[in-house]
Amino acid sequence: MTIFVGNLNFRTTEKQLHDLFAAYGTIQSVKIITDVFSGHSRGFAFIRMTSSDEAREALRRLDSCYLDNNQLILREARPRTQADLFKKPRL
């Protein structure tokens, strides 16, 4: 299961996210999404956990937690739809 993490501080690192979520289960991957041109964080990330139960526990326990002075927004990530593929990218 993949978790969407929003409202990240632009200085938050993938290691910090890994350490935060690892307390609730095994992490497959952590990816902070960056701007194509600048390489800077866009303020959100995706965490893939091996177990859906562990991911749900992390969602429950970390709901509204703070990291680097920002209150995180956590949701189960949803797959992109066909309509999403035709949207213009935000630049």
Residue 10 inside a domain? The answer is: yes
Residue 89 has a pLDDT of 62
86 found inside a domain? no
Where helices occur in the chain by DSSP H, the ranges are 14-22, 52-62
Instruction: Determine, yes or no, domain membership for 16.
Output: yes
Tally of domains within the chain: 1
**pTM of the entire predicted model:** 0.86
29 burial level (CB within 10 Å; 0-12, 13-18, 19+): exposed
The predicted structure's pLDDT at residue 75: 97
pLDDT for 79 equals 82
Residue 73 lies in a domain: yes
Is pLDDT at 91 greater than 60 in this prediction? Answer: no
Instruction: Tell me what the mean pLDDT of segment 64-76 comes to.
Output: 97
Q: What is the pLDDT of residue 88?
A: 66
Q: What is the CATH number of the domain that holds 24?
A: 3.30.70.330
Give the domain range for residue 22. Answer: 2-77
For residue 51, tell me if it sits in a domain: yes
